[in-house]
Amino acid sequence: MQGKPLTVPDDGLTTKQRRNRPLVIVHTGPGKGKSTAAFGLALRGWNQGWDIGVFQFVKSAKWRIGEQTALEALAAVHAETGQGGPIEWHKMGSGWSWSRKEGSDEDHAVAAQEGWAEIKRRLADEQHTLYVLDEFTYPMKWGWIDPVDVAETLRDRPGTQHVIITGRDCAPEVLEIADLVTEMTKIKHPFDAGQKGQKGIEW
């Protein structure tokens, strides 16, 4: 639901300027739904005609093939009819889509760094309206990518570019510059009762 501002900030911006301010959104915490909610937001962006780039930073259960296939179907609808917006999907573990290298023997730290370097180029070029950096907290957590560089790059990015970051244990430097942070907490989970993941639910 649309909320009312609790306070009016003294930032010299009009309500409309604040309304259209680009956001950094973080979905973190140990519960389910961090990435799923990010892809749900991509549905809204698609309907607004936004240019969307998805960047997956670690191997996920079956590579989120359900979401990828569905979003690529929406990208095809856009290409054929003009409805919605374009969507690109890039993943690290088998070699980034823009790179020619095959990924089987790649160094994961180097691959993560290449991914972030490309995202920095795209942010500088204002290439997308919405960036989904899926499981991007982990390469920061593992020391492969500097969270200070991420925080400064996102804080200083030009234009109107929204960025969603998902994953557990987000670096405090990134939380500090984020506009919206939601934590997903597990209350009850079928794995606790001895059940394994199943298609359609887990991937």
> Residue 13, SS3?
coil
Write down the least CB distance from residue 117 to a second copy, Å: 26
Which parts of 59-136 fold into alpha helices (H)? Answer: 65-81, 108-125
From the list 43, 21, 53, the residue with the least C-alpha distance to 134 is 53
> Residue 53, SS3?
strand
Write down the least CB distance from residue 145 to a second copy, Å: 20
Only one of the segments 68-76, 88-96, 103-111, 114-122 lies at the binding site for a second copy (rule: CB under 8 A); that segment is: 68-76
Q: Which residues pair with 136 in a beta bridge?
A: none
Write down the least CB distance from residue 44 to a second copy, Å: 3
Residues 20, 155, 159, 169: which binds a second copy (CB under 8 A)? 20
Q: Length of the chain in residues, anyone?
A: 203
Number of residues that bind a second copy (CB under 8 A): 81
Q: Does 14 bind a second copy (CB under 8 A)?
A: no
Alpha-carbon distances of 139 from 86, 92, 144, rounded to whole Å: 27, 11, 5
Nearer to a second copy by Cβ, of 148 and 180: the residue is 180
Enumerate residues 130-169 that contact a second copy by CB under 8 A: 130, 162
Nearer to a second copy by Cβ, of 33 and 103: the residue is 33
Nearer to a second copy by Cβ, of 87 and 118: the residue is 87
Residues 12, 14, 172, 195: which binds a second copy (CB under 8 A)? 195
B/e letters for 109-143, b = 16+ CB within 10 Å, e = fewer, are eebbebbbebbeebbeeebbbbbbbbbbbbbbeee
Reported as type and span, the H/E element at residue 176 is helix 172-177
Enumerate residues 21-50 that contact a second copy by CB under 8 A: 21, 23, 25, 27-29, 31-33, 35-41, 43-48, 50
Nearer to a second copy by Cβ, of 118 and 130: the residue is 130
